[in-house]
Amino acid sequence: MTFWQVMTIEARKRMSYRADFWLGAILGLGAQIGICIFLALAIFRESGSERIGEYTVRGMVLYYVVVQLVAKIVRSTEMEMGVSQDIYEGGLTRYLLYPTSYGLFKYAQQLGALAPSLIQVLLLGAWVPFVFAGEAEVTLASAVMCLAAIAVANVLYFLLGTVIQLVASWADNVWSLMVANRIAAALFGGFMIPLSLFPPWARAILAWTPFPYLFAFPLDALFGRLSPADWARGMGLALGWCGGVAILGKILWRRGMIQYTGVGI
Amino acid sequence: MEGGVRVVIAGLDLGLDDRGRYRIDGESEVKFRRCRAGLSALSCPDVIEADRLSKTFVVHKKEPGLRGSLKALFRRERIEKHAVREASFRVDEGEIVGLVGANGAGKTTLVKMLAGIIHPTGGEARVLGFRPWERENRLRRQIALIMGQKAQLWWDLPAADSFLLLREIYRISDAQYRETLDYLSGILNVKEQLQIQVRRLSLGERMKMELIAALLHSPRVVYLDEPTIGLDLTAQRAIRDFLLQYRERHRPAMILTSHYMEDIERLCRRIIILREGEIVFDGSLEKVVETYADHKVVTVQLAKTAPPVGDAPELRALGEVDVCGDGVIKLRVSRGRVADVAGELLRRYPVADLAIEEADVGTIIEKILREREGPP
């Protein structure tokens, strides 16, 4: 119940900023999708070939459009939720007083903050099936598998970001760590380049890291590239990573709270 | 003691109030605390107990300038800062204890340890029987911390939305929530402002909302860290009056830190003075005056017909002359000589009015904080 209340309050808060909503939709997501489309078109035009890996030009554009939409949900408001800011500026004090879990509280806030992102994704993604009709076969089953994968990816991305930000208990600045995490997730998660363009040995290694389960895995599920067994195995690995990162987070939290000063002496 | 039960133990007259709690006056309260060990059968809980509680912070020192910055990339100098040193005290139910000290004396650090925000580096503390820094939910449901310098409410939301969230967090029943909110917002006179975004409220209104947020769950322990800081005189008075009324109704244990002596004098019977992390005094306000003020202030208003009085040597012989002129004489006189000096003044001068006052508590505390040694 508390989780739901926190989530809805955050959603209400986010939805009350109309200018932010429309600027986020048009300048943020819309511009990013536009850049990806023009970049993909330029790559194909310059290379002169009709296919790059398994992708045609339309297939590549579709990939980049959908990965942007998926990433918008998976990443949510990662940089803003400020676990490290709470530690540096003493905002954590409030949460330490509450008889509730800080991690769950923050995650509920993150989910609430997703509300405007979801509407933006629906608004900008509504035209995709019409423009790219016939390019990929999306079934009800693959859509459900994709939604489940996005949900786990959202949790995993949140946990990775939170664990990195918990380092703020010891380090004076964790910005560089957060940027490194963002780049690693984008590069090895299939956000920048489809993972199928990586050499097989690299793909085999990456499959054991958390990154492919952030963006590439939900897309593979959506486009029907995963058998039910592959999907179940991928979900198991992603959930395993969630558990592992959550345990690491718990350890860092316990040790970090011994260091916490609540700002000022 | 109408309508109550009379209980006399160890020569102290105790009564039960209408909520079944023992009621004793200030003087007896101190004595009662002393003989409490022998009265285990009575309900007299120490809500807050600190035993040699200490906190040492490790801070890094960096030399100024580019050279210092480069050096700090490879090696940083560590400095230990003893914020609180072996603080021991107890606070009972219904007590408001004032923590007094200069900036950096360790007041806020002590409060943060007792609220479970930070871990101590030494000693022990129990709040309602729990170690606060273990942050058990059973304890967190019964405590509140109000920080005048740090907003706890959500800035972009109306206070009412934050209160609804707090209702969920503290699992307050609907009936209790409505009753408490109605009582608190009524007494603080902010009912009309509940639906306004917190960031659009005045500082005084915001502080009142902070108080409501902290007290919605009727905590048994309340820590107030400079609750009136930055407020105008009217708002300060409103907050003080509210705290006194709240204390009468709910009898929580309260620890208050403030730099405003009026907060301390109006709200606290007992103060703890901290100097560089150490407790240098723990007792009643009266006791601090008795212990540290070796003088009283004698003020004489001369009759309109009286000739002008200069700073005569005979006046200086009576005491330290603070004011002498415009028909007023103000002397600081050692405690043992007050009666003699008053008599002497009445004999020598045509006196229209004479007042004998204790020295100002704020000045006495300031003097204690300046001293590096203990009491004289």
pLDDT (tens digit per residue) in B236-268: 898 999 999 999 988 999 999 988 888 898 999
Nearest CB to A13 within list B152, B156, B164: B156
Report the residue from A13, A97, A99 with minimal CB separation from B157.
A13
pLDDT-based confidence at residue A25 (cuts at 50, 70, 90): low
Task: Give CA–CA dist A116/B155, Å, rounded.
Answer: 19
pLDDT in tens, B139-180: 999 999 998 877 788 888 889 988 998 999 999 999 999 999
Rounded to the nearest angstrom, the minimum Cα separation between B246 and chain A is 21
Q: Do the Cβ atoms of B164 and A12 come closer than 8 Å?
A: no
Percent of chain A with pLDDT over 70: 97
The pLDDT of residue B140 is 95
User: A34-61: per-residue pLDDT in tens?
Assistant: 888 888 888 888 888 888 888 888 888 8
Confidence of residue A80 (pLDDT cuts 50, 70, 90): low
ipTM of model: 0.79
Across the range A181-197, mean pLDDT stands at: 93
How far apart, in whole angstroms, are the C-alpha atoms of residue B27 and residue B303? 40
Query: In this structure, is residue A265 part of a structural domain?
Result: no
Q: Which residues contact A211 (CB under 8 A, 6 or more apart)?
A: A184, A185, A187, A188, A189
The Cα-based distances of B278 to B101, B105, B292 in angstroms read: 10, 8, 17
Task: Find chain B residues with C-beta within 8 A of A12's C-beta.
Answer: 157, 161
pLDDT given for residue B321 in this prediction: 85
| Residue A233 pLDDT level (bands cut at 50, 70, 90) | very high
What does the pLDDT read at residue B42?
A: 42
* Spatial distance between the Cα atoms of A65 and A124, rounded to a whole number of angstroms: 10
pLDDT in tens, A127-161: 888 878 777 788 999 999 999 999 999 999 999 99
Q: How far apart are CA A141 and CA B280, in angstroms?
A: 73
Residues 6+ apart with CB under 8 A from A207: A237
Minimum CA–CA partner of B168 in chain A? A2
Cβ atoms of B108 and B62 closer than 8 Å: no
The mean per-residue pLDDT over the stretch A4-21 comes to 79
> Does the residue A6 lie in any domain?
yes
Range of the domain at A82: 2-259
Nearest to A264 among B108, B152, B168 (CB): B108
List residues of A whose CB lies inside 8 A of any B CB: 1-2, 5-6, 9, 12-13, 16, 90, 93-94, 96-100, 257-258, 260-262, 264-265
Query: Which residues in chain B touch residue A260, judged by CB atoms under 8 angstroms apart?
Result: 117-119
Which of helix, strand or coil describes residue B297?
Answer: strand
How is residue A129 written in tokens? 């099936």
Among A5, A90, A260, beta carbon nearest to B164: A5
**Mean of the pLDDT values across residues B208-214?**
92
For residue A100, give the nearest of B106, B112, B169 by CB distance: B169
Number of domains in chain A: 1
Interface test with B, best of A16, A20, A96, A263 (most B CBs within 10 A): A96
The CA distance from B1 to B11, in Å, is: 16
Judged against a pLDDT cut of 60, whether residue A99 lies above it is answered with yes
Structural domain includes residue A264: no
Contacts of A82 in chain B (CB under 8 A): none
Edge-to-edge order in the sheet of strand B295-302: B320-325, B328-334, B295-302, B351-358
The answer to whether residue A131 sits within a structural domain is yes
The confidence score (pLDDT) of residue A78 equals 59
Among the listed ranges A19-28, B2-11, B335-344, which one has the minimum average pLDDT value?
B2-11
Question: In terms of pLDDT, which residue wins out, B290 or B107?
Answer: B107
* Mean pLDDT over each residue of chain B, to the nearest integer: 83
| Residue B225 reports pLDDT greater than 50 | yes
> Phi/psi of residue B53, each to 5°?
-70, 130
**Does residue A201 belong to any structural domain of this protein?**
yes
The model's pLDDT over B5-61, given as tens digits with 9 standing for 90+, comes to 445 444 444 554 444 444 544 444 444 444 444 443 344 457 999 999 999 988 877
Is residue A77 in a domain?
yes
pTM, to two decimals: 0.79
Percent of chain A with pLDDT over 90: 47
Give the per-residue pLDDT at B11: 44
Residues of chain B that touch chain A, judged by Cβ-Cβ distance less than 8 Å: 57, 59, 81, 83, 104, 106, 108-109, 112, 115-119, 135, 137-138, 140-141, 143-145, 147, 150, 152, 154, 156-157, 161, 164-165, 168-170
| Nearest chain B Cα distance for residue A13, angstroms | 7
pLDDT at B137: 93
SS3 B220: coil
Please report the pLDDT score of residue B32 as a whole number. 47
| Residue type, position B177, single letter | Y
Q: Is the pLDDT of residue B99 over 60?
A: yes
